[in-house]
A = this chain, B = another copy of it.
């Protein structure tokens, strides 16, 4: 049985004392828009244990540029040609080269803080949304305002999008559109998280940021926020880790196609793990282990998630297959992560506190 932590014979979780603190701004030269690519030159090089304070910028900032952009975000939109925003849509900050990381290793990324950069965010009911047909193929933007005192968001106004929302980084000037009141009195809990983050896949050329996969990417699990740790399987030298697609609120399912999309400043620590591996992106929160399954068919995503949870319980918690299967049925909760990224997602969580204490 391989322990999930390195704190053998210890009752406290392992602390990795930060070795350095890096700053990584999102600038035209430090972002890549719409793709992961192992040939992309690193924007930053770090050592295991280093802290990174990085900017993640939403590709939906153009939905209300006055509220969602500052001058530095404008630079990204102005200076990144439309032709260089493909095949996906997300603005990714990075990549970060982690010294010594090799294929087969794991990047443990501890997300420490996620702070909204602006006071507003945008939700698009998109042409890739789950109920697009049912809404007469009309796309619609709802701009939300964040209230840091209550940690909630409320709708500021909404407008019907003219035409079809196809170009990443579309800029809409809504003084020229009709603003409508929306969701009067409703307050949505704010839970900032990264929709997309991950390592470069081992492929030649660009890979779209849209479908999530074993490298991480567009997982869109709102639990990937401050206090959570992700384990990403390294696929190329240096890992080449990037973050993007910041959200302040999203429901499981992300049914309209987007979250409340809003730029975030993110502090995280990267730890290179050579003693731990997992076949898919694994999420640890203070209370739960969470395993992800992906597939374009939700039925098969469910199967994939259940098989990887079986793997977690047998390989990392030391249970027999039979025991793991029974435990999953009576104590693990499956949820729908998203149904709007082409490759759909199912996640399954098991409480960490139900297992006997290790070591001691």
A329 touches B123 (CB 8 A): yes
Q: Decide if A282 is an interface residue (CB 8 Å cutoff).
A: no
B184, B302, B330: the one contacting A251 at CB < 8 Å is B330
CB of A329, distance to nearest CB on chain B (Å): 3
Q: Decide if A325 is an interface residue (CB 8 Å cutoff).
A: yes
B123 touches A330 (CB 8 A): yes
Rounded to whole angstroms, the CA-CA distance of A173 and B256 in the bound complex is 53
Residues from 312 to 348 in A contacting B, C-beta threshold 8 Å: 319-323, 325-336, 339, 346, 348
Q: Decide if A3 is an interface residue (CB 8 Å cutoff).
A: no
Chain B residue nearest in CB terms to A183: B323
Residues from 38 to 60 in A contacting B, C-beta threshold 8 Å: none
Contacts A326-B158, A334-B251 given; indicate if A299 touches B297 (C-beta within 8 A): yes
Interface size class of A (residues with CB under 8 A): 35 or more
Q: Decide if A182 is an interface residue (CB 8 Å cutoff).
A: yes
Interface 1/0s, chain A 142-183, versus B by CB < 8 A?
Answer: 101000000011010010000000000000000000000011
Most buried by B among A129, A255, A297, A302: A255
B189 touches A334 (CB 8 A): no
A250 touches B330 (CB 8 A): yes
Rounded to whole angstroms, the CA-CA distance of A329 and B307 in the bound complex is 28
Rounded to whole angstroms, the CA-CA distance of A249 and B333 in the bound complex is 11
CB of A121, distance to nearest CB on chain B (Å): 9
B130 touches A303 (CB 8 A): yes
Interface of A is mostly: mixed
- CB contacts (< 8 Å) of A130 on chain B: these are 302-303, 306
Stretch with Cβ within 8 A of B (4 or more), from A63-71, A82-90, A265-273, A349-357: A349-357
- CB contacts (< 8 Å) of A186 on chain B: these are 319, 323, 327, 354-356
CB of A297, distance to nearest CB on chain B (Å): 7
Q: Decide if A102 is an interface residue (CB 8 Å cutoff).
A: no
B339 touches A336 (CB 8 A): no
A255 touches B131 (CB 8 A): no
CB of A195, distance to nearest CB on chain B (Å): 12
Residues from 237 to 268 in A contacting B, C-beta threshold 8 Å: 249-260
The contact sample of 30 A-B pairs, CB cut-off 8 A, is A123-B329, A125-B326, A130-B302, A134-B310, A140-B326, A152-B354, A153-B330, A155-B323, A155-B326, A185-B356, A186-B319, A188-B327, A188-B330, A189-B351, A249-B331, A250-B329, A251-B332, A251-B333, A252-B332, A253-B306, A253-B334, A253-B348, A255-B329, A256-B325, A256-B328, A257-B329, A259-B329, A298-B302, A299-B299, A336-B346
